[in-house]
Chain A
Amino acid sequence: MKYGFRRTMAWAHGWAGLVVGWLLFAVFLTGTLSFYRQEITAWMRPEWRPGPAIERSLAADRAEARLKTIGRQANRWLIDLPDGRDRAAHLAVWRDPGQAPRFQREEFDPAADRPVDARRTYGGDFLYYFHFDLQMPSIWGRLLVGLAAVIMLALIVSGIVVHVRIFKDFFTFRPQKGGQRAWLDAHNAVGVMALPFHLMITYTGLVTLMFLYLPWGIDLAYRGDRAAFYAEAALAQSPPAPTGKAVPLVPLGPLVATAEAHWGLPAGRIDVYRPGDAAAVVRIHAADSSGLAHRRHQIAFDGTTGAILAVEDGRPAGIVRAVMYGLHLGRFAGPTLRLLYVVAGLAGTAMIATGLVLWLVKRRPRRQRLIEGLNVGAMAGLVIAIAAFFWANRLIPAERAGRDDLEAVVFFATWAVAAVHGACRPHLRAWTEQLGFAALLYGGLPVLNAATSGRHLGHSVAQGDWMLAGFDLAGLAIGLFLGWLSLRVARCSR
């Protein structure tokens, strides 16, 4: 500690970055892919061709009819209405303790007025959930990711402190100098290029789970009654006590139309509490895609008469929170801005990756076998595992029971094998081989799609089906990039 502030920060930046780098790489990569969650899901269910978009109020009526069949004795129904990117409605049902099942969900095709008829897969949701809960039981994954995110914030700040000539160096890239200088230039370039994004996405990520991470203020202000806080902040409601008196639920379609006319915005989510009971309440939220703030606007209706009970548009602090949340999800983004989100997310992923490599390069010629192995396994191994997940999706028979979980098993098993391979092979060989293998897997995705779905690239481009074509083309582009990377590493190791 005798070298002053900047030296200390450099030291802490290096070690803290090493400790959380592998986890952050996984969070950034899978999180970035989650901006295309719906597109990934669409590719992973090629047999489902959604019908034409229909009126949201009609979709709501059909979802309501479906829930009356599958959701008896419920204390709450949830309907997520279709939007431009996801033509399925997502239905969920909760029941009181003692009733079975306590929770059930279904994907519903409102245009066809029947459940989505496709293979069982987690689709893009798998990567989305992995990026914050790591598929760990209970809340452990979320806590781990949260701690890593706070460290990431501190890493970004310390990185700025360490990086003296932040503006001048931005225009500096000296790959020909090789070694440490080149890796540092790369780390700085991708770090600074999207610096506001890195800060935003890390901080807003914490905000999405803020009531899990720091609930103690709620406990103090509400004397431990968290449900009261959620209700007061219009974040979540507890179902009202049932009266036991059966009264038919008001048709949802007209309520959707009323809410949309009130806001001038599309509706996105319908919450129905105590459907079919005299105490029923319907809450309609504006769509996530309709604005920056996530679930800011909501209207509560009496579930038996359709009368408006409350109109909630948020208060300042709640709106700030909602905007942070919305910024993180990026659901307001159109195609161009969405692509920008992904490019910035990939820059963040590359910043973490180059940082991890730089840690090793700095310590040359001393070898760090453990870190070398972990670098390959955590980074190239994950890239391979994601591709293997896509391959499993098409190679596991569509009718096989439990196939969705099997896809997840393939993901983790492939990752484990890659990690062992990365630890056993000579370091640069391991990189070359894994990047090369990954290049084949990604580059082969359009071929796999053509062979297993009949909706090949020529077909989807001709049809203007850019959701499917985009996935295939992205696979090709990623394959080419990884192949180039593999050849570069191979040249270094010679």
Chain B
Amino acid sequence: MKALDIASRVGAAVVGGYALATAAALGATALPGTRAEAVQIGIMLGFLAYAAAMIWAFAARSAIRAWAGLIGPAAVLALIGWIGAS
């Protein structure tokens, strides 16, 4: 693997993964039930999303796909959370 490719994947794993985890936590706030419950579910799922994102970042066929595969779902989840909150 080329250095740039590796650096990009590491960035996707650490930064992109955290973005996905954050988005999962935001999206979960739209869940039914009390908001205190929804918030806690979101964070607990967020860690799993983070770990999965790290695997994905290196499993994806290219660095571009690695990023796209994280940012896409993250945008959708964040949007769900934002709509739920407004």
Contact = CB atoms under 8 A, between A and B. Distances in A.
Contacts of B34: 232, 315
Contacts of B51: 150, 153-154, 157
A253 interface: no
A5 B59 contact: yes
Interface stretch (A210-218, A282-290, A397-405): A210-218
B44 A154 contact: no
Nearest to A322: B40
B59 A9 contact: yes
Contacts of B29: 217, 220-221
A233 interface: yes
Interface residues of A, number: 37
Interface string A49-93: 000000000000000000000000000000000000000000000
Contacts of A233: 36, 39-40
A378 interface: no
Contact of A222 (B35, B40, B55): B35
Could you say which of B14, B46, B54 has the most chain A C-beta atoms within 10 Å of its C-beta? Answer: B54
Contact of B44 (A8, A16, A218, A321): A321
Contacts of B58: 8-9, 11-12
Contact of B47 (A11, A206, A211, A216): A206
A106 to B, nearest CB: 33
Contacts of B54: 16, 150-151, 153-154
B44 A216 contact: no
Could you say which of A213, A217, A218, A318 has the most chain B C-beta atoms within 10 Å of its C-beta? Answer: A217
Interface in B1-30: 1, 5, 13-14, 17, 21-22, 25-26, 28-29
Given A8-B58, A210-B44, A232 B26 contact: no
A229 B34 CA distance: 11
A318 B35 CA distance: 11
Contacts of A229: 35-36, 39
Contacts of B44: 207, 210, 317, 320-321, 324
A221 B35 CA distance: 7
A222 B39 CA distance: 10
Could you say which of B36, B52, B82 has the most chain A C-beta atoms within 10 Å of its C-beta? Answer: B36
Chain B at the A interface: SS class? helix
Contacts of A11: 1, 58
B28 to A, nearest CB: 6
Nearest to A203: B47
Contacts of B75: none
B67 interface: no
A196 interface: no
Nearest to A324: B44
Contact of A216 (B26, B40, B41, B48): B26
Interface string A148-174: 001101100110000000000000000
A216 B28 CA distance: 11
A207 B43 CA distance: 8
Contacts of B25: 214, 216-217
A147 B14 contact: yes
Nearest to A147: B14
Contacts of A213: 43, 47
14 contacts: A1-B1, A5-B59, A9-B59, A153-B47, A153-B54, A203-B48, A211-B43, A214-B21, A216-B26, A217-B26, A217-B46, A229-B35, A315-B34, A317-B38
Interface of B: 1, 5, 13-14, 17, 21-22, 25-26, 28-29, 33-44, 46-48, 50-52, 54-55, 58-59, 61-62, 81-82, 85
Closest 10 CB pairs of A and B: A217-B25, A153-B51, A154-B54, A233-B36, A317-B37, A12-B58, A221-B35, A221-B29, A217-B42, A317-B40
